Amino acid sequence: MSGAMKFSIGGFAILAFLLFPILNLMLPAEHPLHLSAFWVTLAGKIMCYAIVALALDLVWGYAGILSLGHGLFFALGGYAMGMYLMRQIGREGQYQSDLPDFMVFLDWKELPWQWWGSEHFLWAFALVVLVPGILALVFGYFAFRSRVRGVYFSIITQALTFALMLGFFRNNFGFGGNNGLTDFKDILGFNVQAPATRTALFACSALALALGFLICQWLVKSKFGKVMVAIRDAESRTRFLGYRVENYKLVAFVVSACLAGVAGALYVPQVGIINPSEFAPSNSIEIVIWVAVGGRGTLVGAALGAVLVNYAKTAFTTGVFAPYWLFALGALFIFVTLFLPKGIVGTFADWFALLRRRHRGGATVAGRPEQQAAE
């Protein structure tokens, strides 16, 4: 794959970072190029999905770790940001209390320990990274040391996601139960519903996507990344050569979880709600489909798959075909598995490589008679 293709997602994110705010804020609503707040929010959400797809591709595409629990890390990052946004409501809530409305409704008298400090943005941002990262560190430490891999690892990650989803549905867990966290009003003192704030959130998502891509690209191009690929292709041989395979897997898994948490944190203020349904195992499976469609082990493909599938989902679920979206998604996954096993980007990269080899071969054959005549 060419260097230009590898850095295309970063360039696209930076271009969107510069272009979308201009089209949304500086052009009048009647202008044909004006972007409405709906499209800005949609693009911001899809960029958050692209970040979590990058995170999964880092561990699945390069280390061979198929996690069916990345929706868990995404949701935890979202809840960490949602706690901060709920604390910013203050006495503007329905019950005009310092406690979040759902706590007043449940007759809670004081803030639970897990909410301490959540009114501070820096602490909330630290939780966005630390909570998914620490969970991935603890879980991955025991899983990788026990040499759990393959389908067994996938099943365990999905079971962990399901267990936390059930926990967050409970009111006594302290996170809003079935309704989750919603009715956000301000972020860093700015109205979260204001067009300028929504554009700023989109710009942050685009910037985070570009930065996340560069971090992943740096990792996979380093010696660390080469060892990850060796682990993916021949784990036993890599261990025999003296590499601590479990350590490499653990670092990749933790970095991936932190990226997914950041994606969730950027997602929540743009959609205005976070609830336990974000933990649903089906969400983690969808992330796998995004990466598979775009092409795992390419980074660019993971982000592209997230963009294409989620845009198709938006278009498909707004009309008469809405009840059939899951069937279409399943059919897409089967088609890609059978006919595009390397995904869109991987398949096109192979085609370009084949055409390049044929072109070089043709040029060599064409040049031989002239060389012989000269001799």
* Selection from 189, 217, 184, 187 nearest residue 13 by Cα: 217
pLDDT at 330: 87
**Phi (first) and psi of residue 251, to 5 degrees:** -60, -45
Reply yes or no on whether the pLDDT at 319 is more than 90: no
> Measured between alpha carbons, how far is 294 from 176 in angstroms, rounded to an integer?
36
Pull the structure tokens for residue 219: 């990792």
pLDDT 10s digits, 204-229: 998 999 899 999 999 999 999 999 99
Give the least confident one: 33-37, 67-71, 131-135, 325-329.
33-37
SS3 per-residue string spanning the chain:
CCHHHHCHHHHHHHHHHHHHHHHHHHCCCCCCCCCCHHHHHHHHHHHHHHHHHHHHHHHHHHHCCCCCCHHHHHHHHHHHHHHHHHHCCHHHCCCCCCCCHHHHHCCCCCCCHHHCCCCCHHHHHHHHHHHHHHHHHHHHHHHHHCCCCHHHHHHHHHHHHHHHHHHHHCHHHCCCHHHCEECCCEECCEECCCHHHHHHHHHHHHHHHHHHHHHHHHHHHCHHHHHHHHHHHCHHHHHHCCCCHHHHHHHHHHHHHHHHHHHHHHHHHHHCEECHHHHCHHHHHHHHHHHHHHCCCCCHHHHHHHHHHHHHHHHHCCCCCHHHHHHHHHHHHHHHHHHCCCHHHHHHHHHHHHHHHHHHHHHHHHHHHHHHHHC
Q: What percent of the chain has pLDDT over 90?
A: 61
pLDDT at 272: 93
Tell me which long-range contacts 230-233 makes (C-beta under 8 A, separation of at least 24): 231/63, 231/64, 232/62, 232/63, 232/64, 233/64
pLDDT at 360: 77
pLDDT at 367: 57
**Phi (first) and psi of residue 131, to 5 degrees:** -65, -55
* Selection from 343, 288, 294 nearest residue 66 by Cα: 288
Reply yes or no on whether the pLDDT at 52 is more than 90: yes
Kindly list the distances between the CA atom of residue 43 and the CA atoms of 29, 84, 251, 301, in Å, as whole numbers in the listed order. Answer: 18, 23, 30, 17
> Measured between alpha carbons, how far is 307 from 42 in angstroms, rounded to an integer?
10
CB of 186 closer than 8 Å to CB of 99: no
75-84, 330-339, 358-367: range with highest mean pLDDT? 75-84
* Selection from 84, 87, 272 nearest residue 182 by Cα: 272
Q: What percent of the chain has pLDDT over 70?
A: 91
Reply yes or no on whether the pLDDT at 5 is more than 70: no
pLDDT at 10: 57
pLDDT at 317: 82
> Measured between alpha carbons, how far is 126 from 109 in angstroms, rounded to an integer?
27
Higher pLDDT, residue 360 or 99: 99
Reply yes or no on whether the pLDDT at 361 is more than 90: no
pLDDT 10s digits, 163-178: 999 999 999 898 999 9
Q: What is the mean pLDDT of the chain?
A: 88
Reply yes or no on whether the pLDDT at 267 is more than 90: yes
Rg of the chain on CA atoms, in Å: 23
pLDDT at 364: 59
* Selection from 135, 43, 74 nearest residue 286 by Cα: 74
Average pLDDT (305-315) is 91
Confidence category of residue 302, pLDDT binned at 50, 70, 90 = very high
pLDDT at 122: 95
